[in-house]
Amino acid sequence: MSAARSVLERLLRRAESARLRGADEHVSLPMGSTREYTDLRSLAELERFHAEVALAERDGAVSVQREARSGDGSRLLRLGVADLPALARHLDVPLLDDRVTEAASRLAAWVERFPVIADVLDAWRSGRKLRSCGPEAARDLSDAAIAVAARADDAGHERILRRESVRLFGDSKRLEKLTTWLELLVTGELAASGLSKEEVWSAIGLRREPQPLLISGCGRVVLTDASAPLVRPYLGLPVESVQSVAVTADYVLSIENLASFHDAALSPDAAAGLLLYTGGMPSPAWRTAYARILESLPSTCPVYHWGDIDEGGFRIAAVLAGAARGAGRVLQPWLMSPTDLEASLLRIADVPSTPVLAAMCHWASRAGWEPLAQTLMQQPIRLEQERLDPVMPTPESSTR
């Protein structure tokens, strides 16, 4: 990039910023303190700089103040923006308004289905970047919408990430590159969610590799074309085939993380319950199987969830609570409140920042756990599930 173009582009950016603030967009730069100009050493460099500025001036893009006493009057004192659109045309750089208009046109078909896209466009229109990107990311956001819509229309099945990427885009890695926009559409929020990329993919039914539903209990499970006895410590089943269970269980406990599920399934006390591994963020197909399992159990059987005490953990709990409500059940927290933990664990727990704590309490409330949210406000902690040893619910647990 030439020195003159660098200065002209800087003028363009400043003028656009001024326009967004409602200020005078006819901004200017003093050339005596502009390094691109003052660092020029050779006559050829000066002549090239002056020639490029003269062309922009001829196009009506910039105003130029020259020093009259410099002999030929060529020495530049100040460059200003005479006409912002003219400067953008001269540089062949689309203005923000034009870029947002183009982005809005590309995304128009998706705004009704994904209302957060309207918020994205408003943010871009105001000059904000999201996920470090501006309107130039509209194609990526549009492709993300194609993927999320395709998975929502096929919510009863899980798909392999790279195969689905090839099917939709002819590129096995395209979906992975779109993860940040998939997250935005899945959550409906402009701010980052705290979900891992695997949890984002799972939320729309994508997995790196096939993920069985891991279940631990005593009884039988009814599949699409057969039934099978449950075994301990656990059994892995195709999630789409699970129809119902016939078990004797004092409780149902879903568990967010794999290591904690394995530890819990090996506990002698686990034989009294039905344990389910969510695979992090449960996919739509997993939630469908979960609802079928809950519907096949007695209404008196309490339903618990044990996950990380952090933003992602409570977000997952809120998703599970919604699935439980759809099955006519109430999800209760297990080992996710400061009051559930020993003093030694409280001492090693992290203290979340104010924004993270607010998000944790928000999602705890969305799960229907308002008392837990209030406890977190009074005693803020953040703790991974794996720091806890498994403890199984008892008949007295539901009365706590």
For residues 120-131, average pLDDT: 92
Tens digits of per-residue pLDDT, 137-175? Answer: 999 999 999 999 999 999 888 999 999 999 999 999 999
Asked if pLDDT for residue 70 goes beyond 80, the answer is: no
Residue 383 and residue 172: Cα distance in Å, rounded? 36
pLDDT at 67: 83
Asked if pLDDT for residue 242 goes beyond 70, the answer is: yes
Q: Which residues make beta-bridge pairs with 274?
A: 252
Could you give the percent of the chain with pLDDT greater than 90? 79
- Tokens at residue 241, please? 């085939």
pLDDT at 177: 97
Q: Are 247 and 218 in contact (CB under 8 A)?
A: yes
Tens digits of per-residue pLDDT, 280-318? Answer: 999 999 999 999 999 999 999 999 999 999 999 999 999
C-alpha distances out from residue 20 to 17, 124, 125, 278, Å: 5, 11, 9, 46
The sign one gets for the Cα dihedral 172, 175, 179, 181 is positive
pLDDT at 71: 57
For 101-135, letters b (16+ CB in 10 Å) and e give: eebbeebeebbeebebbebbbebbbeeeebbeebb
Considering only residues 266 and 155, tell me which one the structure prediction assigns the higher pLDDT.
Answer: 266
Tens digits of per-residue pLDDT, 354-370? Answer: 999 999 999 999 999 99
